[in-house]
């Protein structure tokens, strides 16, 4: 277990140092911002699609997010929190979208994973996805947001904490408790 923790920490350190290198390159040459775009565009799109529920609008807001990030990049100061800063912009763009349209969507609008050819597996998977979707819909918006940031945006605990202006340990505990609660509820519904 200690080896996996060390490996995970090492991977995070490598990711952070690579990201800092990209940020510094983008500060020197605006064209280098494209590498940051490549690194985060899929995560930003998944997050927005999970909130908005349709591809064209999610694509438009993804583009708006990166344009806003590019335009305000000179004001970005904390190199170790780029993802949190970017997702703060992303969340604001999503809120603007909902404010102008006064609508909301759910996490179950995320593209489905491919289903195997086995019909029984497909039925079981479909039932599990449906049960999990129902459980997720019963969560508060704050709880769903934690799941979006952690699993769709693929943010680390420190990034989520920075983005939400919360304590890292509190974020970590909230997510772990939420996952345990969902797991227990899913097990009960499958009995």
Q: What is the pLDDT of residue 175?
A: 94
Question: Torsion angle of alpha carbons 45, 49, 55, 57, nearest 10°?
Answer: -90
Q: How far apart are CA 147 and CA 183, in angstroms?
A: 14
115, two tokens: 């289903």
- Asked whether the beta carbons of 33 and 70 are under 8 A apart, the reply is yes
- Asked whether the beta carbons of 126 and 101 are under 8 A apart, the reply is no
Closest by CA position to 58, among listed 139, 148, 144, 127: 148
User: What residue ranges define each of the domains in the chain, with the CATH number in brackets?
Assistant: 8-109+118-190 (1.10.1740.10)
Closest by CA position to 90, among listed 42, 136, 125, 54: 42
pLDDT digits (tens, 9 = 90+) for 2-34: 555 555 555 666 667 788 899 999 989 999 999
**Angle between the 33-52 and 55-71 helix axes, to the nearest 10 degrees?**
140
Q: What is the pLDDT of residue 121?
A: 57
169, two tokens: 């340990």
Q: How far apart are CA 17 and CA 5, in angstroms?
A: 18
**pTM given for the model:** 0.70
pLDDT digits (tens, 9 = 90+) for 129-185: 777 778 888 899 999 999 999 988 889 999 999 889 999 999 999 999 999 998 898
pLDDT digits (tens, 9 = 90+) for 105-131: 455 544 444 444 556 555 555 666 777
């Amino acid at each position: 277990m200690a080896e996996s923790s060390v490996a995970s920490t090492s991977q995070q350190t490598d990711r952070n140092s690579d990201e800092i290198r990209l940020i510094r390159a983008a500060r020197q040459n605006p064209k280098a911002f494209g590498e940051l775009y490549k690194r985060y565009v899929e995560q930003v799109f998944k997050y927005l699609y999970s909130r908005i529920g349709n591809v064209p609008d999610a694509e438009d807001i993804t583009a708006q997010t990166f344009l806003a990030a590019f335009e305000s990049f000179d004001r970005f100061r904390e190199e170790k929190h780029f993802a949190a800063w970017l997702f703060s912009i992303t969340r604001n763009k999503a809120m603007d979208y909902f404010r102008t349209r006064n609508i909301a969507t759910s996490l179950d609008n995320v593209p489905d994973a491919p289903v195997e050819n086995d019909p029984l597996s497909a039925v079981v998977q479909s039932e599990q996805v449906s049960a999990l979707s129902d459980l997720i819909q019963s969560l508060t918006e704050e709880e769903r947001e934690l799941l979006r940031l952690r699993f769709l945006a693929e943010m680390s605990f420190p990034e989520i904490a920075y983005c939400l202006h919360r304590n890292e340990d509190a974020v970590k505990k909230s997510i772990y408790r939420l996952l345990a609660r969902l797991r227990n509820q899913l097990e009960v519904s499958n009995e």
